[in-house]
A and B are shown apart, each in its own frame.
Chain A
Amino acid sequence: MSTLVFLEHNGSSIQKGSLGVLTKAVSLDPDTAAVLIGSGVGPLAEQAGRYGAKQVFVADSESLAAPLPQPRVDVISRLVKDKGFGTVLFAASVLATDIAGGVSARLDAGLNWDLNDLAVDNGNLIGKRSALGDTIRADVGWTSEPRLGLVRAGSFEAVESGGTASVEQIATDVEDFSAKAVMVDQAREEQSGPSIEDAEILVTGGRGLGSPEGFSLMEDLASALGGAVASTRAVVDSGWYPYPTQVGQTGKVVSPKLYIGCGVSGAIQHKVGMQTSQVIVSINKDPNAPIFDFSDLGVVGDLQTIVPQLIELVKERKAS
């Protein structure tokens, strides 16, 4: 099997998740190659070599500067066809997920997603994933080449092996329709205050709070318990709470001793950021909320009633 790993970068560094996938790919296939796409990305090839890539293909063009998926679908699909790669792996992200979907259609290549491990059995690549809110684990495979895999964030650690990659520049031209979406601007939000990644107790508010004011209830509960307040993408997108507090695929990955979710549905995008919490308690009025599938204690009920009671009980307990 010949393997290609897509390396996503942000500014002047390659994403940790991509390097983790590269590390794993190299352990299964020592001849693994990588591809870097963007503007001025050439210098990153050296970093890819240190993490084990034997060869790095570089598509470097001003026109590829914006992190948009479709131009990358064009470049990767052409590379895979020209070089005959058998496997293409991606670390899941907003960008990589859209690229993988596009490449799947372009090459009629099977795509397995949400993979948390990879193995080779009798020369065949096997993907491991969990499904249905982690109520079942599945081994998945591919019936033809190229095989595409999207790996869940944080599945593999990036480990340097100290090699050097040969670098090959590749064509950067794209399809007409790939140029029909353009980046207008990109806003970056910086963090202020203590990080939710360090808190041992996290009280997380979701859309079920009903309004931004609901977060004062979260802050009261967090202060009673001695924890911090976290949020979900839905409430951050709605402007209820700041982005640095967001847990999930496009936010932070947290692993506190105690996670309490209030009005959090448990969408996969959130779950990948908190599923390794030691104890998970959730309060939600929807008995079908997916978060109940991975909670140690799930409470079906109205958080507006339960949380104020809980705050009082915790305060009483601590005072006694």
Chain B
Amino acid sequence: MKIAVCVKEVPDPGPNRRIDPGTLRMDRSGDRSLNAYDLNAVEEALRLKEASGDGEVVLVSLGASKALDSIRKGLAMGADRALLVSDEAAAGSDLVATSYVLAAALAAESPDLILFGQQASDADGAVLWAAVADRLKMPVVSQISELEVSGDTITAKRQTEFGYDRIRATLPAVLAVADSLNEPRYPSLKGIMGAKKKPQDVKSLADVGVEADRAGESGSRTTVISLSPPESRGGAQKIEDDGSAAQKILDFLVERKLV
């Protein structure tokens, strides 16, 4: 079975994330890593490959060329190779453009399964898999907390607002997994050393057959008009436990008459 896992490099979560006020795009110049939710998708792909005894796990991404530094974590966990679509003309792609480019790259790979994590930690989006599935004309199941693959059929359990659904779909299919599905493995030292030698293809838009005007700003249909500071929560504090954290929490609660 050939499994493609769609992954994304994101700015590290935390106070240093910012949107560039000039371009109104995410500032991607700081520390970056692989979207943590994608690790559950990589883990599941590896488990499916291990259970079946053969197959291939390919990481597929759209991003800047330096995104390979982050994507290598998935290779260190055990994925076989990486395909990064990277092109100046793709910068600033929204959902319409991103799903178009990814679908083109994925179609050329013709995987049996395409996996996504449950959301991107930078954009908070949870819409890409449904768009990619529509472009590839494949069934899609999201928010999966339990997954069984048997022959060319998958059965997935997932939570909705009303309880649990079990959904069956035929392969090839697009699946988005919840972070409760598994516990991603830590890469071993051997895995980390070996990751550098695994195939890592960087392709341009033209390489995957996408016209430049279908990507980036010209391929996008949404825009950021303006940014403003949020209403502040006011006086937020962050402390590190040095043995006195419990006392500090109590003092904080007492001060606000919550205890």
Chain A interfacial positions (CB closer than 8 Å to B): 10, 15, 67-70, 73, 93-95, 97-102, 104-106, 108-114, 126, 130-144, 150, 175, 177-178, 180-189, 201, 207, 225, 233-238, 243, 249-251, 257-258, 267-269, 279-281, 283, 287-290, 292-302, 305-307, 309-310, 312-314, 317-318
B239 at the A interface (CB under 8 A): yes
Please give the distance in Å from A35's CB to the nearest CB on chain B.
Answer: 18
B150 at the A interface (CB under 8 A): no
Q: Which 10 A-B pairs have the closest CB atoms?
A: A301-B241, A110-B221, A101-B130, A237-B180, A309-B246, A101-B127, A110-B222, A105-B131, A181-B139, A237-B145
Inter-chain contact B163/A189, CB cutoff 8 Å: yes
Inter-chain contact A101/B179, CB cutoff 8 Å: no
Instruction: Using A101-B129, A102-B130, A104-B99 as known contacts, say yes or no to A183 and B167 having CB atoms under 8 A apart.
Output: yes
Contacts of A267 in B (CB 8 A): 37, 118-119, 179
Inter-chain contact B163/A108, CB cutoff 8 Å: no
Instruction: Using A112-B222, A177-B139, A180-B139 as known contacts, say yes or no to A137 and B227 having CB atoms under 8 A apart.
Output: yes
Please give the distance in Å from B112's CB to the nearest CB on chain A.
Answer: 13
Residues of B within 8 A of A (CB-CB), count = 89
Inter-chain contact B166/A185, CB cutoff 8 Å: yes
Contacts of A293 in B (CB 8 A): 13-15
* Chain-A contact segment, one of B76-84, B153-161, B188-196, B198-206: B153-161
Inter-chain contact B130/A143, CB cutoff 8 Å: no
B29 at the A interface (CB under 8 A): no
* Chain-A contact segment, one of B41-49, B57-65, B247-255: B247-255
Query: Residue of B at shortest CB range from A308?
Result: B246
Please give the distance in Å from A275's CB to the nearest CB on chain B.
Answer: 10
Interface secondary structure of B, over-half rule: mixed
Inter-chain contact A298/B237, CB cutoff 8 Å: yes
Please give the distance in Å from B222's CB to the nearest CB on chain A.
Answer: 4
Given pairs A131-B19, A299-B238, A302-B241, 18 additional interface contacts (CB within 8 A): A67-B160, A99-B130, A100-B130, A101-B130, A105-B99, A108-B221, A111-B222, A139-B227, A143-B221, A183-B167, A188-B162, A236-B180, A267-B119, A292-B238, A295-B238, A299-B240, A300-B238, A310-B250
Inter-chain contact A94/B161, CB cutoff 8 Å: yes
Question: Which of A105, A136, A251, A300 lies in contact with B96, CB distance below 8 A?
Answer: A105
CA–CA, A180 and B140, complex, Å: 9
Contacts of A251 in B (CB 8 A): 161
- Number of A-B residue pairs, CB cutoff 8 Å, is 300
Instruction: Using A104-B127, A183-B165 as known contacts, say yes or no to A132 and B122 having CB atoms under 8 A apart.
Output: yes
Contacts of A93 in B (CB 8 A): 160-161
Contacts of B130 in A (CB 8 A): 69, 73, 97-102, 105
CA–CA, A235 and B169, complex, Å: 26
Inter-chain contact A306/B246, CB cutoff 8 Å: yes
Please give the distance in Å from B184's CB to the nearest CB on chain A.
Answer: 12
Inter-chain contact B245/A306, CB cutoff 8 Å: yes
Contacts of B128 in A (CB 8 A): 101
Question: Which of A68, A136, A269 lies in contact with B228, CB distance below 8 A?
Answer: A136
Contacts of A186 in B (CB 8 A): 162-166
Query: Residue of A at shortest CB range from B158?
Result: A94
CA–CA, A294 and B128, complex, Å: 26
Inter-chain contact A111/B127, CB cutoff 8 Å: yes
